[in-house]
Chain A
Amino acid sequence: MGQNRDHRSVRARFWDRWGGQIIFRKQRDRRDDAVAARFDAVGLRYGTGPEIFTDIHFELAAGSFHFLTGASGAGKSSLLSLLYLAQRPTRGSITLFGKEVTTIHRRQLPAMRRRIGVVFQDFRLLDHLSTLDNVALPLRVAGVTEEEIRRHVPELLSWVGLKEQMLAKPPTLSGGQKQRVAIARAVISRPDLLLADEPTGNVDDRIATRLLHLFIELNKLGTTILIATHSESLIQRFRMPRLHLEDGNIQVLDAPRTPARPPLPGSALNALGALGNPGEGDG
C-alpha cells in the first residue's frame, strides 16, 4: 500500500517537473505519431565492407519500451546511431515520428535530434563544463532561457542524486556519477525517444536496477525507450520486448510471459533516493 502511494508520488513529482509544464518546447500531440520509429529494408555498410545490416524491418510504437540485444559487434551501436541521426543508412528507409529521415534536408535534422535523447556508451560529457552546464547543454542549444535553466537543471540533478556534484567537472566524477550526468542530459528536454547504449555498463546491479526504474518512469510519461544492453540479469529482471540483432538481421521478441514481470523491488522513490547518496559504491 505504502509502496503504491510512494510510487504514485514519484510519478506525480516527475510529471510536475518534467511532464506537466513542458517548458522546453511546444507540446506535440504524440497521438499523431503512433509509431516513433520505423525501419524499412534498411541496409548499412561502411565503405566497401560487408553489409552490417541487410534488409532490416522493425517498428517502435510510440510509448514502447524495448531492449536491444545481440552479441558484441552485432551492430547495436550502429543501429542506435542510425536512430539518433549520426549517419544515414546505405539503403532502405527510416521514419522517425512519421517523417522520412533518409531524404530529409540536413537543415531539418537538428529539430528532429532535439526530440531524441541519447545516453552514449562513453557518455560524451564535455570535460571543461560543470555537471550543471553539461546537463543544461540540450536546453541551451534549443535556446531555453538561462532563468529556466537555473530553475530546472538543479532540480533534475538533485533528483538523480548529483546535487553535491553540480559544479564538479566530469573528470572528478566516478564512472557511475558520469553515467547519471549523461542520463540527466538525455532526459532534461523530455525527449520523445530515448536511446541508451549500455547505460548500466558502469554501475553495479543495484544502481543499474534503479536507473532502469528511472527509464520506466520516463516511459510511463510517454517517451519511447530503446536500451542496448548485454546484461542478462537486466533482461531477465525487466521483462520487456526485445530487438535482437544477429547476422545482420533483427528479430522482435515479445516480452517473455513467464515468470511475470516482478513488481518494482522497493519503491521507486526509494530507488531514486538511494541514487542520491554520493560516494555509493557505483564507480
Chain B
Amino acid sequence: MSWLPHVDLPVAEDGNGRFLPMMIGIMVFLATLAMAGALAVENVVDSWNRDVTGTLTIQIMPAEGTPEESERVTSARLEQALGLLRAESSVADAQAIPVPRLRALMEPWLGSAELVADLPMPRLIDVTLREDKPIDLGDLAKRLADAVPGATLDDHRLWLSKLVGLAEGLGTLARVVVLLVTLATAVAVVQATRSGLATHRPAIEVLHLIGAQDDYIARQFATRAMLLGLAGGLLGLLLALPAILLVGWLSSDIEGGFVPKVTLTLAHWMLLLCLPLAASAVAMITTRVTVLRTLARML
C-alpha cells in the first residue's frame, strides 16, 4: 500500500485492502451511470417540456351544410371552444384567428382570395399557456373533442407530452436505481469493514493495553478505510466518465434536434463527484463506529 499516504500506525493487510476499493469502485461506477442517466433524462424532459408549454393551436373543422349554416355552426363551435379554453386554469389566453388573416395565410397555397372565399375554412385558435401551470394535453384534447365536434388539438405536441410522461417515468426509475445502488454500497461497505476488523482485534487489544486512547486507535483504522474507499470510488468514477461522455457524444450526433443533447450541468457533475466521497465516508464512519464499539466492550 505504498501509494497510500503515511498513517501513524500501519494497519495489517486484511484482504479488504483489495476487496473494498474494488467493490466500492464497481458500485460507484453503477451509481454514477444510473445517476448520469437520471440527470440526462431530466434534461431531456425539461427541454421537451419547454416545447410543450408556451403556445398551442386548436383547429376547428368547418361544419357540414350550406355555406351559411356551416358558417353559423362553426362560429358557434369556435365560441364554445374559446369558452372552454378560457376556463382552463393553465391557459393564459385564447384568441380566435380572424378569418381574413386565415385567408391571407392560405393565399400562398390556394391562390387569390376570391377563389377561396366560398371554401369552408377551418378555424384556428391561438392558445397561450401559463408557464407556471402544468397541463395535461391528452386530457384537454379529449375534453375539447367531446365538447366541441370537429375540434382537434395539435397532435405533435400531444404526442410529445406522452413522451415526456415516459421519460419522466424513466427518470424516476433511474433515481430509484441510484438510491438502491447507494444503499447496497453502504450495506456492503459496512459488512466488509466489520468482517475485516475481526482480523485486527488482537492489534486493537494490544494498542488498548499499552495505553492508547480509543480515539487514537479508531483513527488508525478509519483513516485507512477512508483512503481505500476514496481510491475505489475515484476508480469507479474514472471508469464511468468515458461512458457518460460517449453517450453524450452519441446523442449530440443525432440530427434534427429531435433528441435534445444529453448534457450534464455543473451542478450535476458536482453531484457525481460526491459519490466517491460518500462511499469513503461510509467506510470511514463504519470503521470508526465498529472499532469504538469493540473498545467499549474492553475495560
Interface of A with B (CB < 8 Å)?
Answer: 84-88, 106, 109-114, 116, 118, 124, 126-129, 133, 137-138, 140-142, 185
Q: How far is the CA of A133 from the CA of B11 in the complex (A)?
A: 12
Q: How far is the CA of A106 from the CA of B210 in the complex (A)?
A: 14
In the complex, residue of chain B having the shortest beta-carbon distance to the beta carbon of A138: B210
Q: Which residues of A contact B210 (CB under 8 A)?
A: 113-114, 118, 137-138, 141, 185
Asked if residues A85 and B299 are in contact (CB atoms below 8 Å), the reply is: yes
Q: Which residues of B contact A113 (CB under 8 A)?
A: 209-211
Which segment of B32-40, B96-104, B167-175, B198-206 sits at the interface?
B198-206
Q: How far is the CA of A126 from the CA of B208 in the complex (A)?
A: 13
The main secondary structure of chain B at its interface with chain A is loop
| B51 shortest CB reach to chain A, Å | 63
- Whether, in the assembled complex, B8 has its beta carbon less than 8 Å from a beta carbon of chain A, the answer is yes
Contact with A along B1-12 (1 / 0, CB 8 A): 000000011111
Number of interface residues of B (CB under 8 A): 19
Q: Which residues of B contact A126 (CB under 8 A)?
A: 12, 202-203, 206
In the complex, residue of chain A having the shortest beta-carbon distance to the beta carbon of B14: A128
In the complex, residue of chain B having the shortest beta-carbon distance to the beta carbon of A137: B210
- Whether, in the assembled complex, B207 has its beta carbon less than 8 Å from a beta carbon of chain A, the answer is yes
Asked if residues B207 and A137 are in contact (CB atoms below 8 Å), the reply is: yes
Q: Which residues of B contact A128 (CB under 8 A)?
A: 10-13
Q: Which residues of A contact B195 (CB under 8 A)?
A: none
Asked if residues A138 and B299 are in contact (CB atoms below 8 Å), the reply is: no
Q: How far is the CA of A110 from the CA of B298 in the complex (A)?
A: 12
Asked if residues A129 and B211 are in contact (CB atoms below 8 Å), the reply is: no
Whether A84 contacts B209 in the complex (CB less than 8 A), given A127-B12, A133-B10, A140-B8, comes out as yes
8 further interface pairs, Cβ-Cβ under 8 Å (given A87-B299, A116-B211, A127-B12):
A85-B299, A112-B211, A126-B206, A128-B12, A129-B10, A137-B206, A140-B9, A141-B207
Q: How far is the CA of A86 from the CA of B13 in the complex (A)?
A: 26
| B13 shortest CB reach to chain A, Å | 7
Candidates B10, B12, B211; contact of A114 at CB < 8 Å: B211
Q: How far is the CA of A9 from the CA of B203 in the complex (A)?
A: 37
Q: Which residues of B contact A133 (CB under 8 A)?
A: 9-10
Q: How far is the CA of A138 from the CA of B211 in the complex (A)?
A: 7
Give chain B interface residues in 201-242, CB to chain A under 8 Å: 202-203, 205-207, 209-213, 216
Whether A106 contacts B299 in the complex (CB less than 8 A), given A124-B202, A128-B12, A140-B8, comes out as yes
| B187 shortest CB reach to chain A, Å | 28
| B215 shortest CB reach to chain A, Å | 10
| A82 shortest CB reach to chain B, Å | 10
In the complex, residue of chain A having the shortest beta-carbon distance to the beta carbon of B12: A128
Q: Which residues of A contact B207 (CB under 8 A)?
A: 137, 141
In the complex, residue of chain A having the shortest beta-carbon distance to the beta carbon of B6: A146
